[in-house]
Amino acid sequence: MLMERIEPGGGRGLVAPPGPWLPWPVQTAIFTWWRHLWAKSLREKYGDVIALDIYPWRKVILLYDPAHIGAMFTSPPSRFNAGEGNRVMSPVMGEQSVFMADGAEHRRLRRLMAPLFGKTAVRGYLETVQELTEKEVDTWPLATTFESHDRMRELTLDIMSRVTFGMADGRIFDELRAQLGKLLSMDLAVLMGLNVPAARRYGPWRRALELLHSIDVLIYATIEERRGVPDLAQRDDVLSRLLVAGEGDDRLSPKEIRDQVITLLIAGHETTATGLAWALHELARNPRVAKEATRAALTDDTAYLDAVVKESLRQHPVIFEVTWTLTEDVELAGFRLPKGATLMPMIGIVQNDPANHPAPDEFRPERFLGPEIPPSTWIPFGGGARRCVGANFAMMEAVEVLRVLLSRRAITTDRRKPEAASSKHVAFAPARGARISAPPLAEIDRAMR
């Protein structure tokens, strides 16, 4: 194995990974604002295993080699506390979120939640995605340029709200959706700042706490109301299924349900919206691919649309890294990685490395229609025991949204220059909003049906 446990008293001759000699506040600032550029330059200088000192994790190990990342993902789950590495989001998602849990508790939550996003359950959400996407595209301007990221954020919030709560209208639902929209529009720095107790009394952090409290009141009211409906066991929305998941002491408490709901909304809204915005951006810049994607949409060739989504997530991963914290000392590539260190696979760099994907700057969905790509070179949903529980739903949603959009509108742009990535909310989004034009699809294109 590439990653081996170091027994007590062992590991002689191993050295710590190399890294920059800068104070942790400086490293934190650079990593926060210039993550991608710095991570690339660090690799050129230090290699594939690099040590950083950044807040809030402090001991951080960057990984760039797919073999090392694969060893991490296939290690025994007891070797890592991935939830500990995610603690930065606990004030928002909650201490009992599947995102924060480790060990037996993580396995329990995954077991209870997995059926909600299995292939059968995901197919049941398809009609909702189609309906809401058709409603959204009918509001698009016919002749003017607009920021598609904003439109995708509105759409995916509608989709996730409906899938999660199952309510199409109603005062509580409308108020909850409005409050969630405000929360999901907050800057990531504000949400992360809630980890500092002293900050919670001031300015944006105090307002964030007040907003979270108002959302909690609405969620708990919805939970209580939903418990009393006579057809609860027959409902297929996420909230209803969480309420009936498990038996006896294995049932989820209201707090556990609240934390899973918030986690799913945060993880499933912004990331999918950003991934779709990147896909539209690349389709607008690549007429050949756009033409083929339109053909696929009009002929229900979901395999090609699936490849478009995968290529977009390869070239523009919306999450730059995942964080797993070691519970024991291990050896990797001749280095000692100490207990308590947080390992971070550099997803964006791995997926855009020409050694892993030839001509990575070219948008080529066809690379996902051929032989299987090498292991751990396409990891937008993470991997191993912590792979995103909603990955199946996210892929279905993105493919169906593209199918509906491309069967009604042509995606174009007068600006072929690629947009830079900018850290927005919880994802790396197009800096200019993925600006596109979307005129009605010409009759000659519709004839491809």
Domain boundaries in the chain? 3-448
440 beta partners: 409
Asked if residue 348 has pLDDT above 60, the reply is yes
Query: pLDDT at residue 448 above 60?
Result: no
- For the chain, the average pLDDT equals 91
pLDDT classification of 446: cutoffs 50, 70, 90: low
| Maximum average pLDDT range among 211-215, 296-300, 321-325 | 296-300
Q: Give per-residue pLDDT as tens, 215-266.
A: 999 999 999 999 999 999 999 999 999 999 988 888 999 999 999 999 998 8
Sign of the CA dihedral with 90 first, then 96, 98, and 103 last: positive
Are the C-beta atoms of residues 403 and 337 closer than 8 Å to each other?
no
CATH superfamily of 3-448: Cytochrome P450 (1.10.630.10)
Q: Is the pLDDT of residue 169 over 70?
A: no
Beta strand spans in 327-438 (E): 330-332, 335-337, 342-345, 421-424, 427-430, 435-436
- In this prediction, residue 87 carries a pLDDT of 83
- For the chain, the residue count is 449
CB 342 within 8 A of CB 324: yes
Cis peptide bond upstream of 56, omega within 30: yes
* Tens digits of residue pLDDT in 280-295: 999 999 999 999 999 9
The kind and range of the H/E element at 290 are helix 287-298
Sign of CA dihedral 169, 172, 178, 184: negative
Read off the tokens for 418: 């690629």
Give the Cβ contact number of residue 317 at 10 Å.
27
138 contact partners, CB below 8 Å, separation of at least 6? none
Q: Yes or no: say if 371 and 377 are a contact pair by the CB < 8 Å rule.
A: no
Residue with tokens 């001759």: 13
114-123, 261-270, 348-357, range with greatest mean pLDDT: 348-357
Q: What is the average pLDDT across 375-391?
A: 94
388 is in an annotated binding site: yes
Percent of the chain's residues with pLDDT above 90: 70
Question: Is residue 444's pLDDT more than 50?
Answer: no
Predicted TM-score (pTM) of the model is 0.93
